[in-house]
A and B are shown apart, each in its own frame.
Chain A
Amino acid sequence: MSLDAAPPVSVTRRRFLASTAAIAVLASAGGRVQAASLSGILPWQPYSATPPTPVVPGGWTFFTPAEARAVEAIVDRLIPADDVSVGGKDAGCAVFIDRQLSGSYGSAQNLYMQPPFANGTPSQGFQSPLSPMGRYRQGLAGLDAYCKANFAGKSFDGLSPAEQDDLLKKMEANSIKFDSGDAKSLFELLLQNTMEGFFADPIYGGNKDMVSWRMIGFPGARYDYRDHIDKHNQPYPLPPVSIMGNSTWVRR
């Protein structure tokens, strides 16, 4: 055991164990974490794991009420309610996007955001100085202004489903311009995030009651299929589970 052999980051066993716990907790909160010197032991600390925090529906953490109405209307056109499944709004996709935007994804915390910014070739990828939060705020303002100017003062959520679909198709085809933000890139971001919400584990606020997983036949977080590996060409018999469990296990 030579835990205190290394002067700079030498720590007692007690302090080291405390510091690994701090790594697990503080790293996700963006706080200061400790470098560690590890020797003579296989470090492990109970209760230091970092499970995700379940999203609780209700209210908005990023969207304004008007933005939320537009996004709810959009996710309900991208994933419309029909005889196959509920729509994107009832599946929780707008709540999912809202919570993602107010977290590390929304602020582009993990991305390289240092200048100078320049427009590259398509093969050089994303080069915007805007975080996803900024892209939503700017793009949704552009969409709202476009709707008001072209549909007698109405916002997106006031349009008919056919008008909404037509407008979304134009955004997808890059055939209209917004005064604020880029219509095509707003569409692509919305489509990506809506699908993420619809197909992700329901712990993040979308895919309510594992609706998408039931729809396609994905069993979720089952994690052990040894009983079925030899059963070629046979449907998997069990319903899906989330990392929160199955809806029949949880108090509702």
Chain B
Amino acid sequence: MARKLPRRDVVIVGLGWTGAILAHELTDAGYDVVAIERGPWRDTATDFNVGYMPDELRYAIRQDLFLKPAQETFTFRNNTSQTALPIREFGSFLPGNGVGGAGVHWNGHTWRFFPSDFNLKSHLDQRYGAGFVHKDLQVQDWGLTYDELENSYDRFEYLAGISGKAGVLKGQTQAGGNPFEGPRARDYPLPPMKMTLAPTMFAQAAQGIGLHPFPTPSANLSGAYVNPLGIAMGQCTYCGFCERFGCSNYSKSSAQTTVLPLLMRKSNFEARTLCEVTRVNMHPTGKHATGVTYVDVNGEEFEQPADLVLLCAYGLHNVRLMLLSKIGQAYDPNTGEGTVGRNYCYQTNSGVQLFFDDKIFNPFIAAGSLGQTVDDYNGDAFDHTGKDFVGGAGINCIPTNGRPISYRPVPPGTPRWGSAWKKATKDNYLRAFSFSSQGSSYAIRGNYLDLDPTYKDRFGNPLMRMTFDFPDNDIRMSNWVTDRMQEIAKALNPRQSVVSRRTKPYNIVPYQSTHNTGGAIVGADPKTSPLNRYLQSWDVHNVFAIGASAFPQNAGKNPTGTVGALAYWAADAIIQKYMRNPGPLVQA
């Protein structure tokens, strides 16, 4: 029997980027907020300690900061004809855990999606004619526009001190920025980072064949910064320990470095750590939620009543909590009915590795987002007329590290051990680099999330089942973009270049991307989305789900910039509209 606690105005599930931003905004508006986080408290000095953080084995290989599969995992299959099996060891993607969430151990690429990524279906229909988008693709509009989200993007970029160069400022194209981006009201708060050799060469080569390279917008700070909350951050030292690591320098943006130092001091905010929410509790009418139930680390169960429930866990966990709590109707791929679990998407990546004889790249001098990007072939920045796909990919030369357990480039055909292996490892370590495509991922009917019929978590609740393979559209897109990458590779004139194309089936073992999107998507129609444009459940008006789970499909860009913007967008809707008159913000 759960112990029932005193009511709070707002309960937030998960204290990462979105939970921290919403908690900050709501406490500033005077509400009493409790955030319930299943992982531990984490702070820079203690948990990302400079004395031992640069430890590849512990953090990158043994995955010390991540969610442990023993605590919760997912089951996986490529298609509905297979039996899903548990992901016993995380590989392809690495969900976060603890205060700060995946925002602790990200690389820091901080993008805005293109305007055409938001009204995607209507944009493609208008540009290419109805019927151009293949009937198997469940491409949808978000129900909100880039212009509506612009201010929220701006606030997230200034919160996080993003280093970059504007491409389109108040409608005017700026030299050196991304000419394909949507218009922004002001430039990034910090200038771009200093470039290393590999992205410098990549940009020269790309420019030489008529493309438009620009510095990747980065949450690794190019200089000291004080954000609008008065929280100070330091300059990145190019240490090469970003992704999978916390930052010891206070120079990678995270909840720890941008929000928590202020939020934690507020008397109307409380964080409960090592407490795992197991379900959202529903009123018997099923029309509104009454709060959440959680289990603390010693197994004691509590009920936390609240007027408003905000799901701010990693996107996949938001979807699972909605399924476990029966918020909205579960999606059925056979009938196409139901919405929770619909439009699970990922990322469609490929790569080119280049070997040189006469260059020293010093791959260890790096940062998670230090590099150059070409967006000429991303989204709908290019004309798809006559092509057999929609979507596109950003082409990124962002050498993030030279950590040698994982990073040891050798040419194909090199033995994996013995003296020949050793010589090739020694000869090539400093003399290679790679660049990659990060491609869009568009929904099809059979890619979805639901509850597994067999496997359970340690509390006996069903694991979430992921059914996914790369859609043929996305494979065709990736192959076409990879051909363009080979044109850049040729212009770089390496001794040897090695192409890795994206192929089916999707494999859960090698790391690809922790950009799992969809499942609890926004939209204009309750028949095809469980959330309205304010990330509010169509069915249960006092539940909002904030995260990449809300993306109807994924763009060829990292999600965090858009996730941060959605947090501000939802916070505004909650404070300015919902709290004044609780109820559905959009009439179905």
Contact = CB atoms under 8 A, between A and B. Distances in A.
14 contacts: A23-B41, A23-B274, A24-B46, A52-B55, A124-B82, A125-B76, A125-B508, A201-B55, A218-B364, A221-B54, A233-B197, A234-B360, A236-B362, A243-B54
B82 A121 contact: yes
A213 B240 CA distance: 15
A123 interface: yes
Given A44-B46, A232-B197, A79 B88 contact: no
Contacts of A174: none
A147 interface: no
Given A84-B423, A216-B404, A204 B365 contact: no
A127 B88 contact: yes
Contact of B270 (A2, A35, A50): A2
B271 A38 contact: yes
Given A34-B274, A232-B197, A233-B197, A27 B365 contact: no
Given A34-B274, A38-B41, A120-B85, A110 B69 contact: yes
Interface residues of A, number: 90
Contact of A113 (B83, B87, B88, B422): B88
Given A118-B83, A201-B56, A243-B52, A7 B91 contact: no
B69 A111 contact: yes
Query: Which 10 A-B residue pairings sit nearest by Cβ, starting from the closest?
Result: A221-B54, A35-B296, A112-B69, A216-B429, A224-B237, A200-B57, A123-B507, A39-B270, A110-B68, A232-B197
B86 A223 contact: no
Interface in A224-245: 224-226, 228-230, 232-236, 243
Interface in A19-33: 20, 23-24, 27, 32-33
B194 A229 contact: yes
A122 B260 CA distance: 42
Size class of the contact patch on chain B = 35 or more
B418 A80 contact: yes
A71 to B, nearest CB: 14
Contacts of A48: 46
B505 A235 contact: no
Nearest to A84: B422
Nearest to B38: A35
B185 interface: no
Contact of A114 (B61, B78, B455): B455
Interface stretch (B124-132, B148-156, B261-269): B261-269
A6 interface: yes
A6 B34 contact: yes
Nearest to B276: A35
Nearest to B456: A114
A7 B359 CA distance: 63
Interface in A194-229: 194-196, 199-201, 203-204, 212-213, 215-226, 228-229
